[in-house]
Amino acid sequence: MEVLSMEDVAKHEKDTVLFPDFSLKVYRQGVTAIYSSLNVRHVLLNMLIGKHSVTSGKIFVQNESYNINRRAYLAQIAVCFFEEGMYERLTIMDCLKFYQGLYQSKQTFEQVLQWTQLEDKTHTKVSKLTFSERRRVQFAKVLLQDAALYIFEEADLNVDLETKRVFSTIIQKLQENQKAILILTGNMENAISVADEVYRLDEKGLYKVEIDEGKDEDVKKEVPDAEEKEQTFKFHKIPTKINEKMVLFDPPEIDYIESKDGQAHLYIKGEAFPTTFTLNELEGRLHYFGFFRCHRSYIVNLQKVREVITWTRNSFNLILDDQAKSSIPLSKGKMAQLKEILGLK
Amino acid sequence: MTFSMKRVLAIFNKDLKDLSKNMFVSTSILMPLVLAAIYGRMAEDLSIESYYLVINLAFTMTATFIQCAIIAEEKEKNTLRGLMLSPATIPEIFSGKSLVAFLLSIVTIVVSSIFMEYYPENVALVAVAIVVSTLFYIALGTLLGLLARSVVEASVIIMPVVFLLGFGSFIETLMDKYPILHFAEYLPNLQLIEFATKVQAGSGLTDVWSHLSVITAWFLIVSFLTIVIFKKKEIDA
């Protein structure tokens, strides 16, 4: 049964398209993540809580719409904001008592405290908590609500390992209780680690991200040290230089990388940005994001590849899904590797 | 739409606890109390004006300022959004908050009156006037709280109110000099003094109802303005 249903929702801001119309359904027990830029995330969240009116398209939660019955709609959603205001001077217990009274919750404190691992902090003031512990208090707040749809905004960004663990337990508990979960994040790793379905939302629309492929690659690389793996993710933007300015790009934005005159150029929407890294360095850094060294002087973002064209038996080209439909050479030796990645023999 | 007393009490409890730990705001209660204690020790027999100087100060410093500060803080700390998304209705949220300011003002006024040894001739009648005035000052606090963006800003915009309504009895002396200021006698604080003076002189409800209705009118006007501003802010936000 579907809990959240978004139909042809779109947002334009002045002349720019934030995201074109898309439809999305989140079902009971489903965990869906939307990976997007900060801007898109804010707009989407504000639409979901009714702060921005939905100008084109419709949003329903349990068949309730904000415009028709505001209270019934809001009663169906529980939101855990990234920048949630908290009552700093109250202790955790007082906060929870307040939320319990406010939401008329039947959930017991013991249960919630146990799930959020806050049992030994109940008499600590909120202002004295660490960032991760505050996050867990916010999780506790959400758990005290009895909604159909739970929305988490950047729930496990910059938190410690314990909180990450708490977060995935909470998701599991909510799933067991027949709830639907929507995760809004700007961090692909977070999205992939907890969600069943991951989508990317940008000005081109809503795209489903295949999780399995990413997992396979992780296994293939066999990174034994979890810490080392995390560091790779923490520092994943690629710096480029334009005139005297430094511009940082998110790997998913990059279409492909070309080495020209001894310098690597990132291609983003048909524009080239020179970077100081060598192709070998980039290959190492971008491996996790589904980038593939398809040629001695090319690295391609596999997510963007639309077609593989065979010219002759020994010459291949990759056609990308970008505006210019760029064509990139694929070396003969690399074809076997690519087939392996694609799961073809 | 149902009005849930449980939710109101939850908000009331939370705000009371929060306030008791917020020294910056809660110490404002002390000012009228200290003044009352000094006045009570200074003179044997105080005039109605001095009693009401303290009571009016108590109104502005507790009812208005506390209400204004807790609403402004809720906005500043970004917690109002959570409240708005919760099942609590807007009347519930504001009643919970007003209840805190209401209770504290009544306590402050009763304690100050005991300190000053002020015993009205007709306690019931004065009590009604005090309650109606408290409602007016709380409504004013709500209005200012909606306008202020932070607690610091709240303590700044409260200043003119404290001067005009808290120390307002001084305007009377100016009124004789500048006839243009005569409209000031309709201010709720001066109306309350007039009311109390007449009650002290032994008048009954028939003589003083006009003052009471002026204060009620003030309350209604400010409440109306508050609702208008709230609606406007809600659309803007």
pLDDT digits (tens, 9 = 90+) for A269-295: 878 888 888 888 888 888 878 888 888
Q: What is the pLDDT along chain B (237 residues), one digit of tens a residue?
A: 568 888 999 999 999 999 988 888 888 888 889 988 888 888 777 788 888 888 998 999 889 999 999 999 988 888 888 888 888 888 899 999 999 999 999 999 999 999 888 888 888 889 999 999 999 999 999 999 999 988 899 989 998 888 888 776 677 777 777 877 777 788 888 888 889 888 888 877 888 888 899 999 999 999 999 999 988 887 665
Distance of CA B7 to the CA centre of its chain: 24
**Average pLDDT taken over every residue of chain A:** 83
Task: Check pLDDT > 90 for residue A1.
Answer: no
- State residue B169's pLDDT score: 66
Please say whether the beta carbons of B172 and B190 come within 8 A. yes
- Give strand pairing partners of A274: A265
> Can you tell me the mean pLDDT for A180-193?
82
User: Is A53 an interface residue toward B (CB < 8 Å)?
Assistant: no
Contacts with B80 from chain A: Cβ below 8 Å? 85
What DSSP string runs through A287-325?
A: GGGTEEEEETTEEEEGGGEEEEEEEETTEEEEEESSTT-
Task: Check pLDDT > 50 for residue A221.
Answer: no
Contacts with B23 from chain A: Cβ below 8 Å? none
Higher pLDDT, A3 or B46: A3
Helix (H/G/I), strand (E/B), else coil: A180: strand
Q: Cα–Cα–Cα angle for A28, A29, A33, nearest 5°?
A: 100
Subunit contact A94:B10, Cβ cutoff 8 A:
no
Closest-CA residue of B relative to A86 is B79
Q: Cα–Cα–Cα angle for A282, A287, A292, nearest 5°?
A: 85
- Give strand pairing partners of A316: A310, A330
**B31-53 burial, b for 16+ CB within 10 Å, e for fewer?**
bbbebbeebbeeeeebebebbbb
Q: How far is B136 from chain A (nearest CA, A)?
A: 27
- State residue B138's pLDDT score: 95
Comparing A85-99, A314-328, B61-75, B111-125, the range with the smallest average pLDDT is A314-328
Higher pLDDT, A188 or A121: A121
What DSSP string runs through A241-259?
A: EETTEEEEE-GGG--EEEE
- Distance, in Å, from the CA atom of A139 to the CA atom of A157, rounded to the nearest integer, reads 13
> Can you tell me the mean pLDDT for A91-112?
89
Contacts with B14 from chain A: Cβ below 8 Å? 87, 90, 94, 97-98, 101
> Can you tell me the mean pLDDT for A287-305?
85
- Distance, in Å, from the CA atom of B33 to the CA atom of A258, rounded to the nearest integer, reads 77
Task: Check pLDDT > 50 for residue A228.
Answer: no
* pLDDT tens by residue, A149-162: 999 998 888 888 88
- State residue A222's pLDDT score: 43
Residue in the structure block whose two tokens are 């505001």: A70
Chain B interface, mutation test: which of A48, A87, A93, most B Cβ atoms within 10 Å? A87
Closest-CA residue of B relative to A98 is B10
Q: How far is B175 from chain A (nearest CA, A)?
A: 46
Subunit contact A104:B4, Cβ cutoff 8 A:
yes
CA dihedral angle for residue B67, residue B69, residue B72, residue B73, rounded to 10 degrees: -120
A–B CB contacts, 8 A cutoff, strictly below: 69
Chain A interface, mutation test: which of B85, B89, B233, most A Cβ atoms within 10 Å? B85
CA distances for A163 relative to A134, A155, A195, A231, B184, angstroms? 10, 9, 17, 18, 60
* pLDDT tens by residue, B164-193: 887 766 777 777 778 777 777 888 888 888
Sequence-ordered list of residues with C-beta below 8 angstroms from that of B150, at least 6 positions apart, any chain:
B72, B73, B75, B76
Subunit contact B21:A79, Cβ cutoff 8 A:
no
Sequence-ordered list of residues with C-beta below 8 angstroms from that of A233, at least 6 positions apart, any chain:
A187, A189, A288
Provide the edge-to-edge strand list for the sheet that holds A16-27: A16-27, A2-13, A56-61
User: Is A131 an interface residue toward B (CB < 8 Å)?
Assistant: no
The closest CB to that of B82, out of A75, A85, A125, belongs to: A85
Structural domains present in chain A: 2-209 (3.40.50.300), 225-342 (2.40.50.1020)
Chain B interface, mutation test: which of A102, A124, A139, most B Cβ atoms within 10 Å? A102
- Biggest CA–CA distance in chain B, Å, is 55
Residue in the structure block whose two tokens are 């007082």: A94
- Distance, in Å, from the CA atom of A258 to the CA atom of A266, rounded to the nearest integer, reads 7
Higher pLDDT, A160 or A233: A160
Contacts with A51 from chain B: Cβ below 8 Å? 237
- State residue A313's pLDDT score: 65
The closest CB to that of B79, out of A87, A94, A101, belongs to: A87
